[in-house]
Amino acid sequence: MGDVVPTGKSGRSGSAKVSKAVAELPRQVREELSRRLRRNKGAFRSGDVQVVEGPLLRRAVGASALGNCMEWFDFGVYSYLAATLGKVFFPGASPGAQVISSFATFAAAFVVRPLGGLVFGPLGDRLGRQKVLATTMIMMAAGTFAIGLIPSYGSIGIAAPILLLIARMVQGFSTGGEYGGATTFVAEYSPDRRRGFLSSWLDFGTFVGYALGSALVTLLNLALTDDQMLAWGWRLPFLIAGPLGVIGLYMRLKLEESPAFQQQLDDHEKTLAQESAGGEFKTIVTRHWRPLLICMGLVLLYNVSNYMVTGFLPTYQTETLHRSSGTADVLVLLGMVWIVLLITFIGRYSDRVGRRPIYGFSAAAMIVLAVPAFQLIKMDGFWPPLSGVLILSTLLACFAAPSAATLPALFPTAVRYAAMGIGFNIAVAAFGGTTPLVTEALVNITGDDLMPAYYLMLAGVIGLVTVRFLPETAQVPLNGSQPMVGSREEQQELITTSKELYRVSAERSGDGDSPASATT
């Protein structure tokens, strides 16, 4: 059983002693397992611990990450082509108005995201995560592909921007069910000890997609003339979405339903999972309002910084700082590559130190570093602006890495997809997708090119307040799900540990102390 570590007050009769395995459990894990063991009235048995086989896990993570990759390929393309799309679809406006109009169309997709979450979320809780994720993949690919086929304003007049708006709204509606469903799916497949690392691959796909989209646009800008880009070059990145969507759909149709969802169909959560959409919405708002607000606060923190870097920085550099599009594109692209390199390491680290320290430290750092980062971005040359971009990208990686593991853990299995759809998409619609539009407008109104930094500082303050109420969920089993492990050996280890923990809990309870309070 390993080394034995005494706990409790010295000299007390019946003082509990714990093995090294129990003593080294993180506090939040020990408390949650103790609660489950008391409710179980005994140690775990093999049927109480879910084992996820490696091939299934890798397929689930890969298919989910591919969907995010495709979604953000589109966002990367749209952000980098904002000025070009403004000229194609809003040719009669001034250059500043063209950019704002393009960003307004970009933001319009986020207006319908909560509606997509309200529709797809309850469906995902009732019909299954896999079916809904396949549907969102089809819609997303179709909306992106359609943009590449829309005639210009010069060809069909006002119908062109209207069609662009419709295509963007189809994208937004499907995305309303995409990220919440993908994070739920991956979190429910991941072993508890590695959920941060495995879930971080979802946002790895996000930034790979963005980097691929931005790299493609950068290459097109270098290879084609401005007239060629306006005439037909801008269409190519959107048309690539068709083949990508077919590949993604094939992968998602090959997936099995998540273990947590399969499990709930056989237990007491079944009736809750089968409530009507309206009933589920009422349940989430009335019973889970606190985690819903925490979810929205973390999403605000993540997505304001996200869309500031990915959606606003390329246009900020060209339109406000009058930097060449090639230099601006390369700077942000290097920032995306840096995030891709960092994100899974930060996800793994969050499994060790917890999610709260990473969120809290990064939010505080953003308050302190936002202005210096933008001052560096404004400087001449290449290396100072790159340093500023890398500072913001590092902070963004720290927000992105733990998000896919943290947000689903706030809610029980029966309402997880719907709650994620509501909380995530409302926050993104209100604060994330509007970030490029709002910050561009603030810069134009005030003439202060540091307004984006102040906006980031405000998001950092909100993030710090949110972290104050965030429960630590690193290595903790998901609410409403069995403990998850990655092998039979880990299953047996957890069963053995639960026997020791249950014994210690019983002894501590006998001494009049809370079982969960056993400490090293």
State the Cα–Cα distance between residues 155 and 394, nearest whole angstrom. 43
Query: Is a pLDDT exceeding 80 seen at residue 430?
Result: yes
| Element spanning 470, H or E | none
The answer to whether residues 418 and 125 touch, using CB atoms and an 8 Å cutoff, is yes
Give the bridge partners for 4, in sequence order: 19
| 291 half-sphere exposure, CB direction, 13 A CA radius | 21
Mean pLDDT of the chain: 85
- For residues 116 and 172, the answer to whether their CB atoms sit within 8 Å is yes
CATH superfamily for 52-274+283-484 is MFS general substrate transporter like domains (1.20.1250.20)
Stated length of the chain: 520
Structure tokens, 67? 């969907």
Q: How far apart are CA 228 and CA 267, in angstroms?
A: 60
Highest mean pLDDT, choosing among 140-149, 156-165, 250-259, 349-358: 349-358
Q: What is the pLDDT at residue 464?
A: 97
Backbone angles phi, psi at 51, to 5 degrees: -100, 125
Distance CA 482, CA 484 (A): 6
What per-residue confidence (pLDDT) applies to 383? 96
Report residue 8's pLDDT band, with 50, 70 and 90 as the boundaries.
Answer: very low
Give mean pLDDT, residues 45-70. Answer: 86
Categorize the per-residue pLDDT at 87 as very low, low, confident or very high, splitting at 50, 70 and 90: confident
Q: What whole-number distance in Å separates Cα of residue 320 and Cα of residue 99?
A: 11
Answer whether residue 365 shows pLDDT above 60.
yes
Tell me: the pLDDT tens digits for 367-425? 999 999 999 999 999 999 999 999 999 999 999 999 999 999 999 988 898 898 889 98
User: d(Cα 339, Cα 309) in Å, to the nearest integer?
Assistant: 11
Looking at residue 517, what is its pLDDT? 40
Q: Give the pLDDT confidence score for residue 509 in this predicted structure.
A: 66
Q: Does residue 180 register a pLDDT over 90?
A: no
* Residue corresponding to tokens 């993540």: 302
Q: Any idea which of 285-299, 387-401, 494-508 has the lowest mean pLDDT?
A: 494-508
Check: CB of residue 346 under 8 Å from CB of residue 394. no
For residue 311 the two structure tokens come to: 């959606």
Contact 396, 306 (CB under 8 A): yes
- Band the pLDDT of 264: cuts 50, 70, 90: low
Confidence of residue 90 (pLDDT cuts 50, 70, 90): confident
Nearest to 309 by CA among 377, 372, 222: 377
Spatial distance between the Cα atoms of 437 and 417, rounded to a whole number of angstroms: 29
pLDDT-derived band at 265, boundaries 50, 70, 90: low
Backbone angles phi, psi at 170, to 5 degrees: -65, -45
Q: Which amino acid is at 74?
A: D
Q: What is the spatial distance between Cα 21 and Cα 501, in angstroms, rounded to a whole number?
A: 9
Cross-strand partners of 83: none
Domain ranges of the chain: 52-274+283-484
Element (H, E) at 51: strand 50-51
Residue 341's pLDDT is: 96
Higher pLDDT, 10 or 469: 469
Above pLDDT 90, what percent of the chain? 40
- The pairing of beta strand 484-485 with beta strand 50-51: parallel
Asked which of 49-53, 238-242, 366-370, 486-490 is least confident by mean pLDDT, the reply is: 238-242
| Mean pLDDT (whole number) for 158-176 | 87
Residue 519 has pLDDT above 50, yes or no: no
Token pair, residue 250, equals 């094939």
- What is the pLDDT at residue 255? 73
Contact 294, 462 (CB under 8 A): no
pLDDT category at 215 given cuts 50, 70, 90 is confident
Q: Give the chain's largest Cα–Cα span.
A: 89
